[in-house]
Structure 1
Amino acid sequence: MQHPVEVFTGKVREYAGSRASAIAKLQVDGELTLTERGLAGDEQAEKVIHGGPDRALCHYPREHYSQWAREFPEQAALFVAPAFGENLSTEGLTEKNVFIGDIFRWGEALIQVTQPRSPCFKVNFHFGISDLSLLMQNSGRTGWLYRVIAAGKVASDAPLELVSRVSDVSVYDAAAIAWHTPFDDEQYHRLLSAAGLSVSWTRTMQKRRLSGKIEDNSRRLWGK
């Protein structure tokens, strides 16, 4: 099945009262070059937590925006793509029907799902909602990230097409295992077994198995 896609890129900007970010993206049409680091012309701030080979592209389901708008009617006008800083926007693909390791063909390129997006405090600032990062995490409406396994020319009129499914762990399941359940070594093993899982999530789950503890995510969620 093919999924039409809207494409967005952005530049790093300074924000008064917060750290620099490239969350504000603009729609682009026509042909683009996709490298192992992402789309030509797209930037990321703070590359330790954004960008890199396993986080070359961010995808957010467009249908989530209507739910966010219902939950926050005063900010409803803000909830349109690409408000969460996504590069790819579709309808019909969600965290529940996209799986860790899924490989999609996009134009000449092949991209692979690596992890749920880990919401950070910058979305709180961007929307003026103090706990939006936590609400994204708790709801499972996080979107997901890709690595580029074959670079090439892509285009806004080239659909996404699933060509390989290599795990039984959905993006939603991965988020639930990481964030919604108490320490569960068996589920961490299940997630670690998902082909294509990002290096950072592999490291986090393995650290939990070794330490018997769940790490503190407050800095990511609140910026403190």
Structure 2
Amino acid sequence: MQYQVDVFTGKIRDYDGSRPSAIAKLQVEGELLLTELGIAGDEQAEKSYHGGTDRALCHYPREHYAHWAQMFPEQAALFCAPAFGENLSTEGLTEQNVFIGDIFRWGDTLIQVTQPRSPCFKLNFHFGISDISAQMQDSGRVGWLYRVVAAGKVSAEAPLELLSRVSDVSVYDAAAIAWFQPFDDEQYHRLLSAAGLSASWTRTMQNRRTHGKIEDQSRRLWGK
């Protein structure tokens, strides 16, 4: 199965009342270079939390935007790609049918799903909605991130094609284990066993198993 993709990149900009972010992205056409750190020319602020080899690309399902427009009718015009700061936008791929470790061919490259996207407080400022980061996390409509297995040339004309599935943990399952379900060591073990899981999620889930509790997420979701 092949999926047509729209491609977006962005530059770091300032936000009143918040820290700089490159969430505001613009559609790009033609041939692009994909490196192990993402699309050439795309930027990320605060690289401790964004970007890097395990988070080189962000993908958000286009079909989710109808949900957000219905939830926030006064801001409905905002909810179209790439409003959530995604690099890739498709129809037909969602958290339910994409799995941790999935390897896709895109142009000359190979990319691998590493984790759900972890919503952060910058979304609240971006949309002017005080708790959309938490609502996004609670809904499971979070999208996902990729590492670049093989770098090369890509373009919006080149579809995504699933080549390999190496785990039985969907992106939605991973989000549910991390955020919706109560502490469950067996489920954390299941998630940690998913081939391709990012280093940061591996560290977080192992820390939960070690300490027997879930860490405070308020700083990520609320900036506190």
TM-score for both structures, normalised by structure 1: 1.00
Q: Confirm or deny: 8 A CA contact 2:36 2:151 kept in the other structure.
A: yes
Aligned-residue offset at 1:16? 1.5
What does residue 54 of structure 1 align with?
54
Secondary structure of 1:220 counterpart: helix
CA distance in structure 2 between the aligned counterparts of 1:124 and 1:187, rounded to whole angstroms: 30
Note the 1:154-173 alignment, pairs <5 A.
154-173=154-173
Aligned partner of 2:100: which letter? Answer: I
CA distance in structure 1 between the aligned counterparts of 2:82 and 2:17, rounded to whole angstroms: 22
Aligned partner of 1:49: which letter? Answer: Y
CA distance in structure 2 between the aligned counterparts of 1:89 and 1:43, rounded to whole angstroms: 17
Question: Once superposed, which parts of structure 1, at least 4 consecutive aligned residues long, lie more than 4 Å away?
Answer: none
What does residue 124 of structure 2 align with?
124
Aligned residue-pair number: 224
Note the 1:19-98 alignment, pairs <5 A.
19-98=19-98
Q: Unaligned 5+ residue runs, structure 2?
A: none
CA distance in structure 2 between the aligned counterparts of 1:91 and 1:187, rounded to whole angstroms: 29
CA distance in structure 2 between the aligned counterparts of 1:111 and 1:163, rounded to whole angstroms: 10
Aligned-residue offset at 1:17? 1.2
CA shift digits 1:49-80 (9 cap, x unpaired): 00000000000000000110011000000001
What does residue 141 of structure 2 align with?
141
Secondary structure of 1:63 counterpart: helix
CA distance in structure 1 between the aligned counterparts of 2:213 and 2:127, rounded to whole angstroms: 32
Aligned-residue offset at 1:215? 0.4
What is the identity percentage for the equivalent residue pairs of Structure 1 and Structure 2? 82
Considering only aligned residues, what root-mean-square deviation do their CA atoms show, in Å?
0.4
What does residue 109 of structure 1 align with?
109
Q: Unaligned 5+ residue runs, structure 1?
A: none
CA distance in structure 2 between the aligned counterparts of 1:219 and 1:182, rounded to whole angstroms: 20
What does residue 223 of structure 1 align with?
223
Secondary structure of 2:22 counterpart: coil
